[in-house]
Chain A
Amino acid sequence: MQEARELTILDMEASVEHMSRGTVRYCDTLLIVVEPYYRALETAGRMAPLARGLGIPRVYAIANKLRDERDEAAVLDYCARHDLEVLARIPFDEAIIEADRSGVALIDYAPGAAAVDEVRRLAERLAAQG
């Protein structure tokens, strides 16, 4: 069912504990951002089943700060073992650090950055889900 091109996007508090309460249960999609290191992956691994238990229909991982193929493989491997689809693979990008340092939105600071391009593809994939 088409909801007239409206988007609500909620930037959540970081900790796993907050997953069990609050407005997240009213979302139709949860994106769990993961970096390619063990503790970040473990956090995603704990969040995903909690989110599914709350009845959130679509739960995905977003791989972020990927520096090389080993980083990518680490995230893909972990997520495959935890039945978690990786919807975007965002490369490590110096532009993000520079945008942060300047207090400027990434899309204004570096509209052509590789990371922005991958977020555009993420938007297309999300829109295709309806």
Chain B
Amino acid sequence: MKIAIAGKGGSGKTTIAGTLARIFARQGYAVLAIDGDPNPNLGVALGIAGPELASLNPLPRSIVEEQADAAGNKQLVLTRPMEAVTDEHGVVGPDGVTLLLGGRVDHPGAG
């Protein structure tokens, strides 16, 4: 499943995203949480401590590229192994949820 959560600022979307991530992780899902907000708060909502968050490297735009699959549908694929990405850019929080700061990835067309 790939779920995006949107809404106005202050709507509570980050709290819901963090809670949903933790609940799925407890049910045995491998959960990757990506904070696409330029003012990132998802880490706190996931229960990840401040010092760990401060050391997070945001994902560079080159981390993903578009590729077409056999049916011609465009897919977003990582340009490096997932493990390397999470090692360098991720932090693993409570219940094993991996957090990535993806603010730059969210706008590949920008800049």
Contacts and interface: CB of A to CB of B under 8 A. Distances in A.
B105 A23 contact: yes
Dominant SS among interface residues on chain B = mixed
Contacts of A12: 4-6, 13, 36-37, 106
Interface in A18-61: 18-19, 21-24, 26-35, 39-40, 43-44, 47, 51, 56
Contacts of B91: none
Contact of B102 (A10, A64, A103): A10
Nearest to A120: B23
Contacts of A96: 12, 15
A8 B32 contact: yes
Interface string B8-37: 111111111111111110011111111111
A87 B38 CA distance: 27
B94 to A, nearest CB: 7
A68 interface: no
Contacts of B31: 6-9
A119 B27 CA distance: 13
Interface of A: 3, 5-14, 18-19, 21-24, 26-35, 39-40, 43-44, 47, 51, 56, 62, 64-65, 90, 96, 99-100, 103-108, 115-116, 119-120, 122-123, 126-127, 130
Interface of B: 1-24, 27-38, 42, 44-47, 50, 64, 75-76, 94, 102-103, 105-110
Given A24-B106, A35-B10, A122-B16, 5 more contacts: A5-B30, A9-B20, A9-B31, A11-B14, A23-B36
- In the A-B complex, list the 3 residue pairs whose CB atoms are closest, starting with the nearest: A105-B47, A33-B7, A27-B4
